[in-house]
Amino acid sequence: MDKTQTDTGMARRTVLSAGLGAGLGLAALGLAGCTPSAKTSGSGSGWKQFSGTTINFISENTAPSAAIAANSKPFEDLTGIKVNITQMALENLVQKVKLDMSGGTSQYHVVYADPYQVLAPLSQGLTDLNQFVNDKKYPPVEKGLADFIALDAAGRFESKSKLYALPYDCPTMIWMFRQDLFDKYKSKMQADLGFDPTPSGKITWEQYYQIADWFNKNAKADVPYGTGHQAKQHDSLQCDFSNVLWAYGADYFDVPDIGTVGSQNPGKSTLTTPQALDAAKFYDKLLKVAHPSSTTWDWDGLGNAFAAGQVAMCPNWHEYAATNEKSLPGKVGYSILPTGPKRSANNWGGTGIGINANAKGNEQGAAWLFVNWATSPATQVMTLKSAKGGGTPTRTSVYDMAEVKKAEKRPSDMPNMLTASAVLEAWKPENIGLRPKVATWNQLDTIVYTNLSKMIAGSQDPTTTMQAMASQFDKVNG
Amino acid sequence: MMLPALLVLVLITVLPFIMLIAMSFAKVRLLGGVSLSMNGFGNWSDVLTDPATWHSWGVTLLFFVLAVGMEMIVGTVLALILNSMRRGQSLAFSLVLLPMFLAPITVGLLGNFLLDPTIGLYSWVMESLHLVGAHQSVFGSQTTAMLAVTTLDMWEWAPLVALIVLAGLTSVSPSVLEAASVDGAGYLRTLFSIVIPSILPVLLVALLVRSMDAVRYYDIVHITTGGGPANTTWVISLQLNEKVQATAVDGITTLIGQSAVIGITMLVFTIIIANVFVRVLDRRGLMK
Amino acid sequence: MSNTIMTSPRTRRVASGLAIVAVLWSVIPLIWMLITAFKPQNAIRTSTPEFLFAPTLVNFQNLFSGGNSVGPFIVNSVIVSVVSTIIAVGLGVVAGYGLCHWKSRGKKDLAFWIISTRMAPIAAVIVPLFVMFRQVGLIDNLLGLIVAYLTFNLPFAIWLMSAFFAEVPPSLQEAAQIDGCNKWQAFRLVVVPTTIPGIIATAVLCLVFAWNDYAFASSFAGPSSQTLPMTAGSLITQTGVDWGQLCALGLITVLPMIVVGLAVRKHLATGLSMGAVTGE
């Protein structure tokens, strides 16, 4: 099946959603009309053909991988394939995958392909999955590719002709807040601030700042600080800042589709526009009222601090809902992030899993069976329920299941689903935030968070920061 | 007799080093096996003209002086304390030694745990004693991050210094010390005029052992501050690591070559330092 | 350690007080790690430290269960560190002796070159070593890690051992040779036994360095050769750092080293004093 017929009449900058997945307003982008017929896979139809093979899966330490590692027996029973799962921090994973691919070897057959740090820089080391999707020898992808959310962003690079990965997880940054504290202080806050502080996309970032500041001054007895951020000199700082950058109408580059399929040549950066400078100034101001330990937190540190009651609200990946429900059962609410002058932007952190192009013979086929199984609706429901923290399904159909819908309300056996209304809102094209998918992203990422770290430490003002970022970007991209 | 060992050593250390030098003058392509294409002095000039390189060298020097300095002082003090004990010396010695058996990665993680502003034991103690403000993390401030990181390094390695120094102290001739006490010299005077000079070679050996590792290990900094905040703990190994991490597989890159340049300069730095110590040992006729 | 400086009772009282401080400084973090390893999750995440709790083995159970049980990793760690130590010390003893008795003007330069090979930055040599290892199939292979650990342990062993041999009086070997031993026998039967403390000290230090390595293992090891310290990385999950499990892992990782290290503590001290004073 040739997918070079790129547009099926869709707007260029459509992001995640084009087709309409049953009432959810999301579906895989750019695949309408070219999905294989959605068949449910009957057991036995090709699943056993690589029985006896052993494959290795390298993954970041994410909830779905932890859940699968703890429970890989169903796959082994279904296929007779043994799968070893190695989990590590993303930066270590990038290093290992790179060495593996450059060596022409395949220690790891299935690769957790972060779109920015693995897929874009290493796409040549990944197999085109279309060959498996279209091969009748293999069990079909249940419900077809159209059932996937963010297929382009998680699975493609530069063009739509090749598919490198199937969407595996999709944590997204949303606004987490202490419902109990907002309930308690709502009227007082409203009287003091002059607006209804209830978290929603209607609140602006400026108002978010005021709410944070109000908590600092008026609610010390209940919570030490209003807001906390993942502002360690780390990837997380870039993720946190990007929400604000996009909300203010700025972006890293001005290239169509750079967030979805990505681009090899992003050109000059656009980080010195007035909007970008405003975003930096606001972020600097916001961090001044944030919990002082913010500068030592990555997403984990922030997640822990929020769960420990250190802050009343924060932007963080929605998969932390599972931790929240353990520590603060019933006390946490979720919304999309505040709105800037332009929009509400919610950083999408999804990832696909792909196959090492060096994998040979049976390993390739076995790897594909694993990719197919691990991203199937049934497996995603399993990870949602896992005691290991809960997954973040990438299938429209999963969100439509009655059992999953029921879990959106407490008491829930799938705590991540408590964020469903916020997350589904965040995935709408007008609300989603997508980082630029470029091969040099690893370097650009470091430039962004290093400069931001200097800014919030007070050793560099916002304007200098953005100028430094822009000139370093342009140097890297030639 | 040296032949087998030297052959192995050449194979596993000289060969990679030659490759490192070759890469430092080349553009590297990683995909499908490493291939090099010459780039002259491009990588060298890129690295040496990059202000980030010099910044991280500055940070490295500070780290080196603070960490190794504290290790030497604390290690020597530990050894002197243990040496003057009559009872319980053996037990105290065993307990004091424990940190040096930990993996550096464990030390870093333990540091994160103990100093976590929310759940950390030491954060709680320091907050209770008003040594740090409420909700402040020592890793988060520009003034304390370096101190925290070097203190962790010192916690792990001062015991090794103590071990070496204690070994030296036991071999100081008792008559020398007796002469000192007859003389009625004060403790500090004895210490600096007699004890320290007589264990000087041992101190230099300890210094040499620590200097070899202080620059090349980066597990602790990496896992705690990650080089932050605002690059204040961004040591040269992190700069090197960053270059290796950031390379794309597709296409040809100068980043690997740049990382090789940094690696070579680090090696040269360490060798110079070590050479200075060995020369001092030598000049004093302390080396056989 | 019979030789003490400053033996007035007052000085010793002060020293005892300081010793208590020193011991506390060293062990509190370790005790806290030990306690945390036996804590249930809800007793760990508290803003005021929890001292009273019902001890649990759940953290250890979690480490040894599931698809990523650390059992095989312990075996890998033991094999890799023990074998590389044996090779390093074996080659190091012989080469150290050779170096010590090498009569040449270049001796000092050779000695310095040997130890300088240990100073190469780990992160820098990973790429070249990886290329070499791949050529000969040493990636994700225990043998590969053994070789990688030799890069820092072999020079260290030669260096230390040469210092130890310098302490052995040459007359000892001469006497043995007069008694009818050949040179090799004299070395093996007479000289080596006198340096046993030094050999033990060297071996333990090599073992500790190899056992605790993280950088090489995380680059060269794979699913079939994963070591214990590497496992720490996989416990930092996106949904929270599991401190209970990390402390349990830290404990499992450090215990063998503590046992070995303390068992030979005396040799470690006398061994290092022999070598250190020579200070080559």
Query: In the predicted model, what is the mean pLDDT of residues A8-27?
Result: 39
Q: Residue A146 — pLDDT band, cuts 50, 70, 90? A: very high
Quote the ipTM score: 0.90
Element (H, E) at A78: helix A73-79
Predicted confidence at residue A235, as pLDDT, reads 92
C229 cis-preceded (ω within 30 degrees of 0): no
Q: B225 lies in a domain?
A: yes
User: What is the percent of chain A with per-residue pLDDT over 90, rounded to a whole number?
Assistant: 69
CA A403, distance to chain mean position in Å, is 24
**Given C5, C108, C275, which is nearest B195 (Cβ)?**
C5
Neighbouring chains to C with at least 3 Cβ pairs closer than 8 Å = A, B
Where are the alpha helices (H) located in A290-435, listed in sequence order? 299-307, 321-327, 361-374, 377-385, 396-400, 402-406, 420-426
Domain count, chain A: 2
Residue type, C139: I
Name the range with the highest mean pLDDT among A82-86, A379-383, A463-467, B132-136.
Answer: A463-467
Q: A35 lies in a domain?
A: no
Q: B137 lies in a domain?
A: yes
Predicted confidence at residue C152, as pLDDT, reads 93
Q: A36 lies in a domain?
A: no
Tokens of A81: 């394939």
Tokens of B142: 């520009």
Predicted confidence at residue A71, as pLDDT, reads 83
Question: Chain C contact for B114, CB < 8 A?
Answer: yes
Q: Residue C280 — pLDDT band, cuts 50, 70, 90? A: very low
Alpha carbon of A263: minimum distance to chain B alpha carbons (Å): 13
Say how far apart CA A95 and CA A101 lie, in whole Å: 10
Q: In A50-93, at which residue ranges do the beta strands (DSSP E only) sit?
A: 54-60, 82-88
Instruction: Output the domain CATH number for residue A94.
Output: 3.40.190.10
Q: Are strands A332-335 and A351-355 parallel, antiparallel or unpaired?
A: unpaired
Residues spanned by the domain of B208: 51-235
Parse chain C into domains and list their residue ranges. Answer: 69-278
Task: State the average pLDDT for chain A.
Answer: 88
Tokens of A50: 């690589």
Residues spanned by the domain of A303: 173-347+432-476
| Higher per-residue confidence, C266 vs C125 | C125
Query: In the predicted model, what is the mean pLDDT of residues B23-48?
Result: 87
- B→A contacts (Cβ < 8 Å), by residue, are 30-34, 116-119, 133-137, 139-142, 225-232, 234, 242, 244-251, 255
Predicted confidence at residue B250, as pLDDT, reads 61
Query: In the predicted model, what is the mean pLDDT of residues A436-463?
Result: 94
Tokens of C37: 């390893």
Predicted confidence at residue C240, as pLDDT, reads 64
Q: A421 lies in a domain?
A: no
| B50-109 per-position pLDDT tens digit | 999 999 999 999 999 999 999 999 999 999 888 887 778 889 999 999 999 999 999 999
Query: In the predicted model, what is the mean pLDDT of residues B210-238?
Result: 91
Least confident residue range of A92-101, A217-226, B25-34, B210-219: B25-34
CA-derived radius of gyration, chain C: 23
pLDDT at A121 over 80: yes
Predicted confidence at residue C160, as pLDDT, reads 86
- The pTM score is 0.88
Task: Based on the fold, state whether residues A336 and A250 are members of the same structural domain.
Answer: yes
User: What is the percent of chain C with per-residue pLDDT over 90, rounded to a whole number?
Assistant: 36
CA distance readout (Å), C273 to A443, A444, A468, A478, C114: 48, 51, 54, 57, 21
Least confident residue range of A363-372, A393-402, C257-266: C257-266
User: What is the percent of chain B with per-residue pLDDT over 70, rounded to a whole number?
Assistant: 90
Q: Residue A45 — pLDDT band, cuts 50, 70, 90? A: confident
Say how far apart CA B237 and CA B246 lie, in whole Å: 14
Is C81 within 8 Å of C210 (Cβ atoms)? Answer: yes
Task: Based on the fold, state whether residues A341 and A353 are members of the same structural domain.
Answer: no
Is B97 within 8 Å of C265 (Cβ atoms)? Answer: yes
Alpha carbon of A330: minimum distance to chain C alpha carbons (Å): 17
Q: Taking CB atoms and an 8 Å cutoff, what residues of chain B touch A104?
A: 32-33
Instruction: Output the domain CATH number for residue B193.
Output: 1.10.3720.10
Predicted confidence at residue C5, as pLDDT, reads 53
Neighbouring chains to A with at least 3 Cβ pairs closer than 8 Å = B, C
Say how far apart CA B87 and CA C164 lie, in whole Å: 30
Q: A408 lies in a domain?
A: no
- C→A contacts (Cβ < 8 Å), by residue, are 45, 47, 66-68, 127, 130-131, 134, 139-140, 218-219, 222-224, 226, 230, 233-241
**Given A86, A299, A308, which is nearest C45 (Cβ)?**
A308
Cα–Cα–Cα angle for B189, B190, B192, nearest 5°? 65
| A234-256 per-position pLDDT tens digit | 999 999 999 999 999 999 999 98
Predicted confidence at residue A23, as pLDDT, reads 36
User: What is the percent of chain A with per-residue pLDDT over 70, rounded to a whole number?
Assistant: 91
pLDDT at C245 over 60: yes
Residues 64 to 93 of A: which have CB under 8 A from any C CB?
Answer: 66, 69-70, 72, 84-89, 92
Domain count, chain B: 1
Task: Based on the fold, state whether residues A139 and A216 are members of the same structural domain.
Answer: no
CB contact under 8 A, C239 and A105: no
Could you write out the DSSP letters of every residue in A97-134?
HHHHHHTT--S-SEEEE-IIIIIHHHGGGB--THHHHT
Task: Based on the fold, state whether residues A238 and A158 are members of the same structural domain.
Answer: no
**For tokens 């707007």, what's the residue?**
A11
Q: Are strands A165-169 and A311-317 parallel, antiparallel or unpaired?
A: unpaired
Query: In the predicted model, what is the mean pLDDT of residues B189-201?
Result: 81
Q: B191 lies in a domain?
A: yes
Predicted confidence at residue C195, as pLDDT, reads 87
Predicted confidence at residue C274, as pLDDT, reads 60
CB contact under 8 A, C239 and A70: no
Predicted confidence at residue A265, as pLDDT, reads 85
> At residue C29, what are phi and psi to the nearest 5 degrees?
-60, -35
Task: Based on the fold, state whether residues A367 and A438 are members of the same structural domain.
Answer: no
pLDDT at A374 over 70: yes
Q: Residue B191 — pLDDT band, cuts 50, 70, 90? A: confident
Predicted confidence at residue B71, as pLDDT, reads 97
pLDDT at B288 over 80: no
Q: Taking CB atoms and an 8 Å cutoff, what residues of chain A touch C225?
A: none
| C35-51 per-position pLDDT tens digit | 999 999 888 877 788 88
pLDDT at B246 over 80: no
Question: Chain C contact for B21, CB < 8 A?
Answer: no
Say how far apart CA B108 and CA B110 lie, in whole Å: 5
Is B205 within 8 Å of B274 (Cβ atoms)? Answer: no
| C141-196 per-position pLDDT tens digit | 899 999 999 999 999 999 888 888 887 887 887 888 788 888 788 888 888 888 88
Cα–Cα–Cα angle for B53, B56, B58, nearest 5°? 110
pLDDT at A19 over 90: no
| B149-174 per-position pLDDT tens digit | 999 999 999 999 998 888 888 777 66
Task: State the average pLDDT for chain B.
Answer: 87
Where are the alpha helices (H) located in chain C, listed in sequence order? 9-37, 41-44, 58-63, 71-100, 107-116, 122-135, 142-167, 170-178, 183-185, 192-194, 196-211, 215-220, 228-234, 243-263, 265-278
| Higher per-residue confidence, A445 vs A13 | A445
B229 cis-preceded (ω within 30 degrees of 0): yes
| Higher per-residue confidence, A244 vs C266 | A244
Predicted confidence at residue C185, as pLDDT, reads 84
Q: Residue B30 — pLDDT band, cuts 50, 70, 90? A: confident
Predicted confidence at residue C263, as pLDDT, reads 87
| Higher per-residue confidence, B242 vs C269 | B242
Element (H, E) at A182: helix A179-193
Q: Are strands A173-178 and A311-317 parallel, antiparallel or unpaired?
A: antiparallel
Say how far apart CA A80 and CA A52 lie, in whole Å: 6
Residues 153 to 212 of B: which have CB under 8 A from any C CB?
Answer: 155, 159, 163-164, 166-172, 174, 177, 181, 187, 190, 195, 201-202, 204-206, 212
> At residue A297, what are phi and psi to the nearest 5 degrees?
-100, 135
> At residue B32, what are phi and psi to the nearest 5 degrees?
70, 40
The class (CATH top level) of C69-278 is mainly alpha
Residue type, A200: S
Predicted confidence at residue B130, as pLDDT, reads 87
Alpha carbon of B154: minimum distance to chain A alpha carbons (Å): 21
Which residues, 6 or more positions from A232, have their beta carbon under 8 angstroms from its beta carbon? A295, A296, A297, A298, A301, A453, B225, B226, B228, B229
| A172-181 per-position pLDDT tens digit | 999 999 999 9
Query: Which residue from B118, B123, B146, B157 is spatially nearest to B224, judged by alpha carbons?
Result: B146
CA A283, distance to chain mean position in Å, is 21
A354 three-class SS: strand
pLDDT at C268 over 90: no
Task: Based on the fold, state whether residues A76 and A126 are members of the same structural domain.
Answer: yes
Cβ-count burial of C169 within 10 angstroms (0-12 exposed, 13-18 middle, 19+ buried)? exposed
Predicted confidence at residue A40, as pLDDT, reads 41
Q: Residue C238 — pLDDT band, cuts 50, 70, 90? A: low
